C-alpha cells in the first residue's frame, strides 16, 4: 500500500480518482450531493394544510391530542410526506412501562408526563400524514415556518443532539419498504420547550446517549434540563418477548473490517476501510456508520469499483457518516464497500513520542448505534513513523520497516467487539504464561508527554519551597522502567487469577499500554490503556493536582481493565441496560485481586467501604447514586436533575456489590469459592464472543444457586434481582447480642438482629461472624429476615468454651447495606 507519500502525492492521487469518477458518475463522489437527500435537507412547508379539532394521534406510549389548530405539511419527497408543523392548542400524555415511571418522575415530579403545547414539529415516515389528513378538515390557515427551521437547527447544531435526521429519513424515503419512524419536537409549556419524543424500529436515535435496541425515547435537550427521561421498547414487544437487551434491530451486521491506517508524526490519520456487512432488513438503501467527526470521508466505492454517494456534514454539525447504496439490499444480503478518509484529532500528538488515540471506537467506520455487543473479524494494517511501536487489538501477524515507516499487520483469531490501537516511542517487555497459554506485554513510553514535562517545570521552577520531594521524586518516579514492570506484573497476576475464577478468555494475549490522559482507563480486546498517573504514587498525584478522588477504581485501574477481557469483550453487552455487568464485574474482579494477590484483608474491606461510600454520598444535586435508579438504567441515570456523576458512582460500585453478594451467598465452608467459580465459568463459556443480558446472567445463576439462596422457594433469584438489580434497596442492620456459658459450659449466643429501611417484601439472608478469642474471624451462620423486622434467637455453640471477642454482621460486606 502506498499510503505513505504525503501530503502532495496522496492528495493529488485522490483528486485524480475523484475527477475520473466525476466524468463517469457526475457528483457521485461529492459528499451530500444526493438530490433526494438535498430535498430533505432543504425541505419546507408545501402549502398544504388541514384544520384539526380534537384529533388524537397515538404513537406507542404517547397520545397527542390536537384540540384545535392547523397542521401544515412539509413538501413531499419522492411522493412521501415526511413532516408536519402544528400550531394551535394541544397536549401529549406519555404512558411508559411501569419501570420507567421513576425516571420520568425526576423530570415531572408527577406520576405522569402530561405536557401542553401550542407548537409541534413532527417528522415521520409512518402513516402520520394520511392519519392527520383523514382526521382534519379543510383549512386556509398557515403555520409558522420558523418552528421548522428551529427544529432543523437544533438537530444540526445543538451540542447535545447533532444528529443527521435527514439521513435517517432518507433511508425510509429511498426504501421500497414502508417506514415506521416518528419524531416529535414538542415545545412544551410545563416541563421544557425543548422536548423530543421519538420512535424508531431500528433503535431510537442516539440523541444525548444511545439507547438502542430500545425504540422509544423521551428526552429534553435544554442546558438546564438535560436528560433521557424515558427509553423503552415498543409496546407489543413486551408481549412478544422481544423487549430485551438481546434484541438486534440495527440495520446491518458488520462481518468483516479490513483497516489500513497511516498515522503521521503530527498524528494526522489516513484510513482506508474495506467493510463487509450483511443487511438486517429488506430495502436497505442508506447505511449509517459511526465515524469520528474530524475524519473526513474522501470517497466510498463498492467492490466493483463504482463510486457511491455518501453523506457527511461539517465536522462541527451533524457529521454522521452514511452511505447511499446504488440499489436496495434484501434481508441477509452481503455488501462490501471501501471508505477512504483522513483527518486530525482522532489521534493527538502529546509530545515526547506520546500519542493519544482520542477516537476509540470510531476511528474507522463502525456500526452506528452499536455498543459492545457486535462481533466482527478485523484485519488491521498500521503505518506509523519509524522508531515508534504499535500495540493493536488482535494478534501481530507481521512487522516490517518500509522506508520511513514501521508497518504492522494484526488479525483477530476470533471476532471482536471493537478494534483499537496505542502507539508511541514505547519500550516493551513481555512474559509468557503457560496456565493459561497467554502472553502479557507491557508498553511504556520512554519519555513523558509535554504536559508532565510542563508540570515538572512548574513544580521545580515555581514552587521551590516544596523541598526535594517535589521535583526530584516526581521526575524519578515518572521514568518508565518502574511503570513497565508494575504494569507487567499486575497484568500477569490478574490474568492468571481471573482465568482461575472465570475460565479462559477468548484471547491469548494482552498488551497493557500507557495512556497520557489521566482521567480514565479503557480496555479493548487484547489491549488496555492505563492512565499513566495510576503509576505515580499518591504524593506525586497530589502534587500534580491529580487526585480525582482516590477511591474505588483509581486504586485498582490495571486489575479492573484486565478484567474487561472477560467482562465486556469475551462476554459483551448489546444494550446500555447490561453495561453494569461489564463495569461492575470488572470492578468486583479487582476486589478478588486485592484479596488473593495482594493478600491484604484490610485493603479488601476498605475497598468495599469505598465502593459503598460512592453509592451513598450525596452529590452536589443532593442525590445518593443508589437512590436515583437501578443499575440497569446505566448511563441514562446521568442528567441535570440527579447530576452527571451518578452513573459512574452507581454502575461500577453497585455492579461490583451485586456480584460480590453472589460470591458471598455461594461461598461454602468446604468448597470455598468453587460454586461461584463454576457459575462464572459457565457464564463465560456460554456467552463467549457474544452479548449477554442481565437476564442471561440471572438464568445461569439460577442454574447454580444453592438451596440457601432460594428465599422464595421457587428456585428463582427474582427476590435478589428485584431488590438489587432492578431495584434500589439499601437495608440497615443492627445486631445486639450477648455471650454467656450454658449449663455444659458451651457458649450460648443470644442476639437480636433488626432489618430496617426496606419494603415489606424485602428478604435477605444476613451472615453473622464471630471474632474468636484468638482473633480469627469466622462465619457462624446466617439469619433470614423479611421486611422491617427484628429476629431474636438463642443459639448454643457446642464445644465453644472461650467467649468470642465480638459478633459481627456483614463482616465481608456480604450484603450491601447502610454502614
Interface residues with Zn ion (CB under 5 A) are 583, 586
**Strand blocks (E) in 558-679:** 571-572
Residue 35 near residue 164, CB atoms below 8 Å: no
| Closer Cβ to Zn ion, 337 or 586, answer by number | 586
CB of 588 to Zn ion, least distance (A): 11
CB of 62 to Zn ion, least distance (A): 35
| Closer Cβ to Zn ion, 583 or 813, answer by number | 583
In our burial notation (b when 16+ CB lie closer than 10 A, e otherwise), range 463-501 reads eeeeeeebbebbbeebebeebbebbbbbbbbbbbbbbeb
| Closer Cβ to Zn ion, 380 or 586, answer by number | 586
CB of 640 to Zn ion, least distance (A): 25
CB of 560 to Zn ion, least distance (A): 6
CB of 805 to Zn ion, least distance (A): 39
| Closer Cβ to Zn ion, 394 or 521, answer by number | 521
For residue 383, what is its C-alpha cell? 503505518
CB of 586 to Zn ion, least distance (A): 5
Give the strand order in the sheet containing 309-311: 309-311, 321-329, 284-290, 366-367
Cell 483528486: give the residue. Answer: 15
Q: How far apart are CA 691 and CA 424, in angstroms?
A: 32
**Could you say which DSSP state residue 234 is in?**
-
| Closer Cβ to Zn ion, 571 or 586, answer by number | 586
CB of 563 to Zn ion, least distance (A): 8
Q: How far apart are CA 444 and CA 515, in angstroms?
A: 9
Question: What is the rounded (10 degree) CA torsion for 651, 654, 659, 663?
Answer: 160
Q: How far apart are CA 815 and CA 764, in angstroms?
A: 8
Q: Can you name the residues that pair with 240 across neighbouring β-strands?
A: none
Backbone angles phi, psi at 346, to 5 degrees: -75, -30
Residue 503's CB is within 10 A of a number of other CB atoms, namely: 19
Residue 232 near residue 219, CB atoms below 8 Å: no
CB of 817 to Zn ion, least distance (A): 25
Q: How far apart are CA 706 and CA 711, in angstroms?
A: 10
The CA–CA distances, whole Å, from 753 to 661, 742, 750, 793 equal 19, 21, 10, 9
Strands 438-445 and 509-515, sheet pairing: parallel
Residue 375 near residue 571, CB atoms below 8 Å: no
The CA–CA distances, whole Å, from 54 to 49, 66, 135, 633 equal 16, 5, 9, 36
| Closer Cβ to Zn ion, 509 or 560, answer by number | 560
| Closer Cβ to Zn ion, 320 or 561, answer by number | 561
Candidates 149, 26, 9, 142; CA nearest to 73 is 142
CB of 528 to Zn ion, least distance (A): 10
| Closer Cβ to Zn ion, 586 or 659, answer by number | 586
| Closer Cβ to Zn ion, 308 or 631, answer by number | 631
Residue 413 near residue 378, CB atoms below 8 Å: no
Angle at 149 between CA 144 and CA 154, to 5 degrees: 130
| Closer Cβ to Zn ion, 586 or 729, answer by number | 586
CB of 569 to Zn ion, least distance (A): 11
| Closer Cβ to Zn ion, 536 or 652, answer by number | 652
Q: How many helical (H) and strand (E) elements, i.e. helices and strands, does the chain have? A: 19, 37
Residue 41 near residue 75, CB atoms below 8 Å: no
Residue 361 near residue 381, CB atoms below 8 Å: no
Q: How far apart are CA 604 and CA 594, in angstroms?
A: 6
CB of 552 to Zn ion, least distance (A): 11
| Closer Cβ to Zn ion, 211 or 557, answer by number | 557
| Closer Cβ to Zn ion, 216 or 586, answer by number | 586
| Closer Cβ to Zn ion, 392 or 586, answer by number | 586
Candidates 591, 723, 640, 586; CA nearest to 226 is 640
CB of 651 to Zn ion, least distance (A): 9
| Closer Cβ to Zn ion, 113 or 529, answer by number | 529
CB of 567 to Zn ion, least distance (A): 8
| Closer Cβ to Zn ion, 171 or 574, answer by number | 574
CB of 359 to Zn ion, least distance (A): 18
| Closer Cβ to Zn ion, 583 or 696, answer by number | 583
**Could you say which DSSP state residue 636 is in?**
G
| Closer Cβ to Zn ion, 322 or 590, answer by number | 590
Report how far apart the first and last C-alpha atoms of the chain are (Å, whole number).
61
CB of 522 to Zn ion, least distance (A): 7
CB of 494 to Zn ion, least distance (A): 13
CB of 211 to Zn ion, least distance (A): 20
Q: How far apart are CA 289 and CA 365, in angstroms?
A: 5
Backbone angles phi, psi at 419, to 5 degrees: -115, 150
For residue 233, what is its C-alpha cell? 421498547
Q: Would residue 761 be called left, alpha or beta, if left means φ above 0 and alpha means ψ between -120 and 50 degrees?
A: alpha
Q: Residue 258, SS3?
A: strand
Cell 515508534: give the residue. Answer: 388
CB of 683 to Zn ion, least distance (A): 18
Residue 186 near residue 197, CB atoms below 8 Å: yes
Burial of 160 (0-12, 13-18, 19+ CB in 10 A): middle
Residue 130's CB is within 10 A of a number of other CB atoms, namely: 10
Amino acid at each position: 500500500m502506498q499510503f505513505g507519500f504525503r501530503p502532495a502525492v496522496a492528495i493529488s492521487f485522490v483528486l485524480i480518482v475523484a475527477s475520473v469518477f466525476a466524468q463517469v458518475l457526475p457528483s457521485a463522489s461529492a459528499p451530500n450531493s444526493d438530490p433526494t437527500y438535498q430535498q430533505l435537507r432543504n425541505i419546507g412547508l408545501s402549502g398544504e394544510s388541514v384544520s384539526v379539532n380534537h384529533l388524537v394521534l397515538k404513537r406507542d406510549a404517547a397520545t397527542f391530542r390536537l384540540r384545535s389548530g392547523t397542521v401544515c405539511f412539509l413538501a413531499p419527497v419522492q411522493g412521501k410526506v415526511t413532516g408536519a408543523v402544528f400550531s394551535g392548542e394541544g397536549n401529549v400524555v406519555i404512558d411508559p412501562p411501569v419501570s420507567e415511571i421513576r425516571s420520568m418522575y425526576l423530570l415531572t415530579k408527577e406520576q405522569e408526563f402530561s405536557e401542553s403545547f401550542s407548537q409541534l414539529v413532527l417528522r415521520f415516515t409512518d402513516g402520520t400524514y394520511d392519519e392527520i389528513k383523514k382526521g382534519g378538515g379543510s383549512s386556509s390557515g398557515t403555520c409558522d415556518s420558523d418552528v421548522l427551521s428551529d427544529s432543523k437547527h437544533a438537530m444540526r447544531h445543538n451540542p447535545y443532539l447533532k444528529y443527521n435526521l435527514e439521513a435517517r429519513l432518507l433511508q425510509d424515503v429511498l426504501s421500497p419498504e414502508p417506514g415506521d419512524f416518528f419524531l416529535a419536537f414538542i415545545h412544551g409549556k410545563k416541563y421544557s420547550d425543548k422536548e423530543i419524543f421519538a420512535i424508531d424500529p431500528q433503535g431510537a436515535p442516539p440523541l444525548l446517549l444511545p439507547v438502542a435496541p430500545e425504540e422509544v425515547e423521551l428526552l429534553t435537550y435544554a442546558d438546564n434540563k438535560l436528560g433521557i427521561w424515558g427509553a423503552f421498547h415498543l409496546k407489543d414487544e413486551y408481549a412478544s418477548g422481544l423487549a430485551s437487551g438481546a434484541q438486534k434491530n440495527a440495520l446491518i451486521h458488520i462481518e468483516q473490517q479490513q483497516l489500513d491506517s497511516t498515522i503521521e508524526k503530527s498524528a494526522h490519520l489516513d484510513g482506508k476501510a474495506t467493510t463487509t456487512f450483511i443487511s438486517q432488513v429488506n430495502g436497505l438503501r442508506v447505511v449509517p456508520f459511526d465515524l469520528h467527526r474530524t475524519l473526513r470521508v474522501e470517497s466510498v466505492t463498492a467492490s466493483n469499483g463504482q463510486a457511491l454517494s455518501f453523506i457527511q456534514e461539517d465536522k462541527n454539525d451533524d457529521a454522521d457518516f452514511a452511505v447511499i447504496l446504488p440499489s436496495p439490499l434484501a434481508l441477509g444480503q452481503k455488501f462490501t464497500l471501501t471508505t477512504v478518509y483522513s483527518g486530525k484529532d482522532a489521534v493527538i500528538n502529546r509530545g515526547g513520542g506520546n500519542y493519544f488515540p482520542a477516537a476509540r471506537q470510531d476511528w474507522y467506520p463502525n456500526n452506528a448505534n452499536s455498543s459492545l455487543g457486535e462481533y466482527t473479524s478485523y484485519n488491521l494494517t498500521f503505518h506509523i513513523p519509524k522508531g515508534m511501536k504499535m500495540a493493536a487489538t488482535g494478534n501481530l501477524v507481521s512487522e516490517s520497516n518500509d522506508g520511513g515507516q514501521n508497518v504492522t499487520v494484526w488479525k483477530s483469531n476470533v471476532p471482536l467487539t471493537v478494534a483499537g490501537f496505542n502507539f508511541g516511542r514505547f519500550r516493551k517487555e513481555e512474559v509468557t504464561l503457560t496456565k493459561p497459554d497467554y502472553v502479557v506485554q507491557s508498553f511504556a513510553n520512554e519519555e513523558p508527554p509535554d504536559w508532565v514535562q510542563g508540570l515538572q517545570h512548574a513544580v521545580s521552577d515555581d514552587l521551590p519551597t516544596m523541598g526535594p520531594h517535589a521535583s526530584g521524586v516526581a521526575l524519578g518516579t515518572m521514568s518508565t522502567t518502574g511503570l513497565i514492570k508494575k504494569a507487567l506484573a499486575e497484568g500477569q497476576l490478574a490474568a492468571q487469577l481471573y482465568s482461575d475464577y472465570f475460565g479462559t478468555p477468548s484471547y491469548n494475549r494482552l498488551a497493557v499500554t500507557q495512556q497520557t490522559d489521566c482521567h480514565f482507563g479503557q480496555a479493548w480486546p487484547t489491549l488496555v490503556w492505563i492512565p499513566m498517573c495510576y503509576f505515580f504514587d499518591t504524593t506525586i498525584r497530589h502534587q500534580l493536582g491529580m487526585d480525582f478522588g482516590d477511591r474505588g477504581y483509581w486504586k485498582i485501574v490495571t486489575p479492573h481493565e484486565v478484567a474487561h477481557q472477560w467482562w465486556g469483550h469475551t462476554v459483551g453487552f448489546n444494550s446500555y441496560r447490561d453495561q453494569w455487568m461489564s463495569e461492575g464485574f470488572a470492578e468486583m474482579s479487582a476486589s478478588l485481586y486485592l484479596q488473593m494477590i495482594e493478600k491484604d484483608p484490610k485493603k479488601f474491606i476498605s475497598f468495599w467501604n469505598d465502593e459503598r461510600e460512592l453509592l451513598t454520598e450525596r452529590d452536589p444535586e443532593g442525590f445518593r447514586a443508589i437512590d436515583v435508579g437501578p443499575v440497569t438504567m446505566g448511563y441514562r441515570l446521568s442528567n441535570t436533575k440527579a447530576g452527571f456523576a451518578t452513573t459512574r458512582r452507581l454502575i461500577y460500585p453497585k455492579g461490583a456489590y451485586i456480584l460480590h453478594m453472589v460470591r458471598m451467598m455461594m461461598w461454602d465452608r468446604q468448597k470455598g469459592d468453587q460454586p461461584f467459580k463454576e457459575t462464572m465459568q459457565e457464564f463465560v463459556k456460554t456467552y463467549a464472543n457474544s452479548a449477554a443480558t442481565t437476564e442471561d446472567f440471572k438464568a445461569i445463576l439460577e442454574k447454580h444457586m444453592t438451596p440457601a439462596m432460594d428465599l422464595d422457594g421457587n428456585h428463582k433469584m427474582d427476590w435478589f434481582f428485584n431488590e438489587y438489580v432492578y431495584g434500589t434497596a439499601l437495608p440497615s442492620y443492627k445486631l445486639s447480642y450477648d455471650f454467656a456459658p450454658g449449663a455444659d459450659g458451651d457458649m450460648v449466643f443470644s442476639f437480636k438482629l433488626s432489618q430496617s429501611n426496606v419494603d415489606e417484601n424485602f428478604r435477605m439472608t444476613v451472615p453473622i461472624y464471630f471474632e474468636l478469642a484468638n482473633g480469627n474471624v469466622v462465619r457462624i451462620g446466617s439469619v433470614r429476615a423479611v421486611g422491617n423486622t427484628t429476629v431474636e434467637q438463642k443459639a448454643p455453640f457446642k464445644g465453644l468454651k472461650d467467649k468470642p471477642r465480638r459478633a459481627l454482621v456483614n463482616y465481608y460486606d456480604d450484603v450491601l447495606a447502610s454502614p
